[in-house]
Amino acid sequence: MPRRRLLVLLVPALAALALTACQGPAPLVAPEVVWESTGDSPLESDPAVIAAREADIAERIAWNAADFSYAPFVDTHTAEWAAQIADAFERRFVDAGVSPYVYLGPALWQPVEVRATDRGADVVVCDASAHWYLQRDHTTRSTEDLEDGLGAVIELEAAADGRLLVAGQSFEGAVDGCDATGAPIGRFEPAPELPERVDAVVRPPG
C-alpha cells in the first residue's frame, strides 16, 4: 500500500481514538426504583427526609457502579462526605482486592424524628438495611424483618442555595434497637450485577 494512502487511513482512526479518550468513561445509566411500598410515616413529607432519601438513592446507585462522579450523588452530598464515601469504597474493595457488595435498592429506614441544627437538620431513623445487599456467600435479609433495626442519625447541611446535603451519618443520639416496620421498600430495576472485583473507582470532582 502506498505510504500516502496508509496515512489517509491512519489519520481518521487516530482522530477517533483521541476523541474517545477525551470523552472519558460512558455516563452512568441509573436504574429505576420500583417501590413495593412508599412508607407510612407522616415525616416522609418533611423536606429533610425527602433530601435524605434522594441522597441515599443516589449514593447506592453510585456505590453499585463504583462511580462517585454520578451527578445526583455529587449534588446531594457535601464534597467532604462524598470524598469520604469514595475513599471507603476504594480502601475496602479496590486496595484490598475484595469482591464488593451491591445494594438491592434504597436503604430500609423509617424516619423517627427531624431535628433542626445550626448547620441544617438531623434526621433520626430506624434502619433495617444492615443486610439489604448482595455479595458472594451472603444471604440477604428479608424485607419482612424490618422490626430488627438500628438507630442512626443522618446529618444534613444547608448549602448556599438552600438545598440540604448529606454531610455525615452517626449513631450518637440514636436508639440501639428499634422497629422500622412501615419503612418504604424499593428495588433497583434492572437488578444490580455482582462484579468479581473492581479495579478502580471514579472519584467525585475536586
What pLDDT shows up at residue 21? 42
Q: What is the pLDDT of residues 119-153, one digit of tens each?
A: 999 999 999 988 888 887 765 655 667 888 999 99
In a domain, 194, yes or no: no
In a domain, 25, yes or no: no
What pLDDT shows up at residue 8? 44
What pLDDT shows up at residue 22? 44
Transcribe 108-172 into DSSP letters: -EEEEEEEE-SSEEEEEEEE--TT-EE-TT-PPPPGGGTTSBEEEEEEEEE-TTS-EEEEEEE-T
Q: Which CATH number fits the domain that encloses residue 73?
A: 3.10.450
Give residue 141's identity as a one-letter amino acid code: R
In a domain, 5, yes or no: no
Domain count, the chain: 1
In a domain, 55, yes or no: yes
Which value, to the nearest 10 degrees, does the dihedral of the CA atoms of residues 37, 137, 92, 121 take? 20
Q: What is the pLDDT of residues 35-88, one digit of tens each?
A: 999 899 999 999 999 999 999 999 999 999 999 999 999 999 999 999 999 999
Cα–Cα–Cα angle for 22, 68, 172, nearest 5°? 160
Q: What is the pTM (predicted TM-score) of this model?
A: 0.84
In a domain, 202, yes or no: no
C-alpha to C-alpha distance for 198 and 66, rounded to whole angstroms = 8
In a domain, 3, yes or no: no
What pLDDT shows up at residue 132? 87
In a domain, 139, yes or no: yes
C-alpha to C-alpha distance for 77 and 75, rounded to whole angstroms = 6
Q: Residue 1: pLDDT above 80?
A: no
In a domain, 28, yes or no: no
Residue 120: give the domain boundaries: 34-189
